[in-house]
Structure 1
Amino acid sequence: MSITTSQGLRRLRIFAVAATALTLVGAALSAPTSAHAPAADEIPGVDEIVSSPNIRQVANLPKEGPLATGVNSDIAFQGKYAYAGNYNGIAIYDISKPRKPQLVSQVLCPGGQNDISVHGDLLFLSTDSSRNNDSCSSVGQSATIKESWEGIKIFDISDKAHPVYVKSVETKCGSHTHTLVPGKDRKSVYVYVSSYFPDDTFPDCQKPHDLISIIKVPVKAPTEAAVVGTPNLFPDGGNGTDNYSFETTGCHDITAYPALNLAAGACMGDGLLFDISKPEAPRVLDRIRDTVNFAFWHSATFNNAGNKVVFTDELGGGVGAECNDTVGPDKGADAIYNIQGRGDNRHLVFKSYYKIPRTNADTENCVAHNGSLIPVPGRDIMVQAWYQGGISVWDFTNSAKPKEIAFWERGPVNADTPTFGGAWSAYYYNGFIFSNDQKGLDVLEVNDSRLWGAEQVRLGQLNAQTQTAY
């Protein structure tokens, strides 16, 4: 997520979203006995569930306790557990019975956006909200104060009922998102930290900010975690301000494919393809721009073969109504790129855009957001969250002609006033789709012959930004 504000007000964007999200608190969860497929231009009623006939909701756990007023964010998976980020902290769910998930524990640890990932007994949490210290009892404090803190928090999750906060690592401009890259020796894991929006008034976030921070974490000694590099990905300064796209002042998100030594970076005004064969020294192979239709390069997903990348454009920063006829089909969408060439000559070639084919209300925040591959043999299919645009399952096997094969969504949170809500993340994990929606954890099941074979794939762990070869 990236809310469009002036650079000088960077740290206020998180609290603005959180305040908007408070309008969701106390709203009744709509749970109709059935869902119907609307026409492309039909707007469902408030909280009305609509879907294609091949997908259904099988469970929902509403937010509760200290996380009830926070914005739900990303999800990671390990074994029979789902780890859900929230601007107020972490929720751990037992999903051994996906149709009956159970809350195991919650950790109150404010610090948006609390992007989350797991590795062994370690959990990593991004803090991109300037705090007065690195504790879980910290409060917001201006980034203009040198002593303010933001970065990565590390937890020991060997006891799922009682996670323990063990280490913090401060990084330049904080950590909006992060990506795990396992070390070749398996003794360490690297954390690629993405952050952006520097300002001359921020002592720890100065211009230019053309870099990412790389943290090395010894798996058996996480308290020794430290920044080992801040590689400059944009020696020429990156995309400027004289076009439709955001100025590049850092990266929003990076997706790694360690088995292929590749990563794709979504960096505000630029898209990157780079080599991570040496995790501490990533090398840029190609850089692309779309100054006509892409406002904010937000995230990336490789296909299983590693010869395509889907980039997303988070037009409107996640709070705008971007799924309507005024915006059209090519903005706030996905862009599919094929990877051509070999070795250092690999480059990205644009093929097409994909956007959900339904009109959303002007009160609904809707734009391309977080998703993952569905492991269908021989096909390129992914599931993706679109905030109040719901969840879309779509096929990009033919890069030039992507098509939707299933969808599920709730109607507007509010039919009269623009109100933040909807699905932040939607990921496929061991036979089911799990979505961190502002209504809580949703579990969906798809029944479609085009997904044949995916149900046979069983993973022990899933961090969507660290892709596994199926």
Structure 2
Amino acid sequence: MLRKLRWLVLAFGVLGVIGPGTASADHRFDEHSENMQALGESLRSGSFTDPIGWDTRNTDLAFWGDRVIQGRYDGFRIIDIAGVRAPSWGGVGNPKEVAFFPCVSPQGDVGVWGDLVFRSVDSGTRTDQCQPFLDQQTPGFEGIQIFDISDVNNIQQIASVPLDCGSHTHTVVPDLENNRVLLYNSNSGSSNIAPSAYGNRCTADHGRFDIVEVPLDNPSAAHVIGAGMLGTALDGRVIRACHDIGVILGDVNRAACAGNPLTVVFDISDPANPVRLFDLTSPTVTSFHASTFTWDGKYLVLGWEPGGGPRPRCQETGAVDEGVVVTDEMKTIFFHDATTGELVGRWVLPRPQSAFENCTIHNFNVLPIRGRYVLVHGSYQSGTSMVDFTDPTNAYEVAFSDPAPLEPGVLSRGGVWTSTFYNGLIYESDTRRGLRIYRVRAREAAGALRLPHLNPATSEFSLP
């Protein structure tokens, strides 16, 4: 059984209202397991509306060397993590924000390749540049923006690719034999929207994920080159869109569209021409949210987002939220055989959350370890945890950090958007606060490979 502690103090600084900072007093009383150590923070606060009238939440993470790209609804941050070390490694050093690029267009999920940052836009904006978004009834630019960050003091937008139904998230798929990066676009939307001035439109039966080619010798010429067709399920249901797409390359070459209403698995031996293999579902799931593979390609890990994210769906099983009875499945990660689609195991969040904490299992990634299956997930106000599913029928929690409700007595939105394991540490993107970093002392995490970079939805190689 995990021992629970509360951090007595982690006072590196004070949380600012809008600008960057270091640590916040909110962090010092977070409940956590004894083996999970907080190392440092780089904060830039986020809000759903206040104080500037539009959404400023922190979102996804991507990593290149000693830098983290943190997405936001109003732009992105570049954070230097070279100085972050645990005390036993020579002292604690906070990550440092080296750039914040404002770009008001949601939801701002990011990917990175060298000096290129890719950014998703899923609400109509006035132009394809960084302008405030329009009301949802007005057709505007939606798609992927591309930025050159070679000079962090002079970041330049170099391309924008309009995409039907917008870009909710995207997956970076390197194809270096052809000197290019492909972006698998997940739109997630299903509204009927007339064509905009940029050509993007949307229909309810979209039924595909578009593929964007980014030529590395001329990234400003990025354009759509094809699509993965989602098809129709055996029971006749139309698979409308992907929310996220997990990819593994190497000797496996598979992609999994976490779709609405099913997950679809593709062979991507030719990454520009995905071949549909099969679709699958998990018990009670109505629309999938996230997918990833183990590094050997044996298992497919799936999650969903009951209540859409703002609702407290991780309460004690049997609790009622707006007339909906909370079930184990609402706070579950599912493990499927990646070849057959068969459900082989599951893990249920063991710490019920209160009625004042929005919570679903939101995003996760698998550690690059030979011989074990371990993941890290970030799940709104339930915080961050590490799970061992080497035996998928008997998965267990290795470590966790679980903050108190943001506003006790009031249901409020916030918490951890995503948590990612990268080169020995866990990086947590908190919607309201910014970036937090942890170390876990556990045998389960031993032997994890160091990577030169990481886009969390993509495993660029496979392990035997």
TM superposition score category, shorter chain reference: 0.7 to 0.9
Q: Does residue 29 of the first structure (1) align with residue 24 of the second (2)?
A: yes
Query: Aligned equivalents of 2:25 and 2:416: distance in 1?
Result: 15
Q: Does residue 55 of the first structure (1) align with residue 36 of the second (2)?
A: yes
Instruction: Give the aligned residue type for 1:399.
Output: P
Instruction: Check conservation: 1:210, 1:237, Cα contact below 8 A.
Output: no
1:36 is aligned to none
Select the residue among 401, 412, 419 that pairs with 1:426.
419
Query: Aligned equivalents of 1:382 and 1:201: distance in 2?
Result: 38
Query: Aligned equivalents of 1:184 and 1:429: distance in 2?
Result: 23
Q: Does residue 117 of the first structure (1) align with residue 123 of the second (2)?
A: no
1:329 is aligned to 328
- Within a 5 Å distance, the mapping from 1:413-452 to structure 2 comes to 413-437=406-430, 438-452=432-446
Query: Aligned equivalents of 1:239 and 1:125: distance in 2?
Result: 34
1:232 positional shift: 2.1
TM-score, length of structure 1 as denominator length = 0.84
1:66 positional shift: 11
Select the residue among 393, 402, 427 that pairs with 1:400.
393
Q: Does residue 410 of the first structure (1) align with residue 430 of the second (2)?
A: no
- Within a 5 Å distance, the mapping from 1:65-464 to structure 2 comes to 70-98=56-84, 99-136=93-130, 138-146=131-139, 148-203=140-195, 204-235=201-232, 240=237, 248-259=239-250, 260-290=252-282, 292-325=283-316, 326=319, 327-339=326-338, 346-437=339-430, 438-454=432-448, 457-464=449-456
From the superposition, tell whether residues 450 and 280 of structure 1 become closer, same or farther in structure 2 (CA, over 3 Å): closer
1:401 positional shift: 1.3
Instruction: Check conservation: 1:308, 1:337, Cα contact below 8 A.
Output: yes
1:143 positional shift: 4.8
Greater percentage in strand? 2
1:20 is aligned to none
From the superposition, tell whether residues 317 and 239 of structure 1 become closer, same or farther in structure 2 (CA, over 3 Å): farther
- 1:107-127 Cα shifts (integer Å, max 9, x gaps): 000111111011122110000
Query: Secondary structure at the residue paired with 2:458?
Result: coil
Query: Secondary structure at the residue paired with 2:161?
Result: strand
Query: Aligned equivalents of 2:452 and 2:153: distance in 1?
Result: 19
1:237 positional shift: 9.8
- 1:19-47 Cα shifts (integer Å, max 9, x gaps): xxxxx989x933566xxxxxxxxxxxxxx
1:144 positional shift: 4.3
From the superposition, tell whether residues 293 and 117 of structure 1 become closer, same or farther in structure 2 (CA, over 3 Å): same
Instruction: Check conservation: 1:356, 1:392, Cα contact below 8 A.
Output: no
From the superposition, tell whether residues 65 and 318 of structure 1 become closer, same or farther in structure 2 (CA, over 3 Å): closer
Unaligned runs of 5+ in 2: 1-16, 85-92, 196-200, 320-325
Instruction: Check conservation: 2:284, 2:329, Cα contact below 8 A.
Output: yes
From the superposition, tell whether residues 238 and 167 of structure 1 become closer, same or farther in structure 2 (CA, over 3 Å): farther
Instruction: Check conservation: 1:238, 1:270, Cα contact below 8 A.
Output: no
From the superposition, tell whether residues 294 and 162 of structure 1 become closer, same or farther in structure 2 (CA, over 3 Å): same
C-alpha RMSD over aligned residues:
2.4
Instruction: Check conservation: 1:55, 1:406, Cα contact below 8 A.
Output: yes
Q: Mean Cα displacement is larger for which, 122-131 or 62-71? A: 62-71
1:311 positional shift: 0.3
Instruction: Check conservation: 2:291, 2:303, Cα contact below 8 A.
Output: yes
Q: Does residue 467 of the first structure (1) align with residue 459 of the second (2)?
A: yes
Query: Secondary structure at the residue paired with 2:228?
Result: coil
Instruction: Check conservation: 1:254, 1:264, Cα contact below 8 A.
Output: yes
1:70 positional shift: 1.0
Identity %: 32
Query: Secondary structure at the residue paired with 1:231?
Result: strand
From the superposition, tell whether residues 102 and 281 of structure 1 become closer, same or farther in structure 2 (CA, over 3 Å): same
Q: How many residues align?
A: 416
From the superposition, tell whether residues 145 and 451 of structure 1 become closer, same or farther in structure 2 (CA, over 3 Å): closer
TM-score, length of structure 2 as denominator length = 0.85
Unaligned runs of 5+ in 1: 1-23, 34-47, 241-246, 340-345
Instruction: Give the aligned residue type for 1:392.
Output: S
Instruction: Check conservation: 2:376, 2:387, Cα contact below 8 A.
Output: yes
1:184 positional shift: 5.0
1:443 positional shift: 0.4
From the superposition, tell whether residues 412 and 378 of structure 1 become closer, same or farther in structure 2 (CA, over 3 Å): same
From the superposition, tell whether residues 200 and 129 of structure 1 become closer, same or farther in structure 2 (CA, over 3 Å): closer
Query: Secondary structure at the residue paired with 2:172?
Result: strand
Query: Aligned equivalents of 1:52 and 1:61: distance in 2?
Result: 22
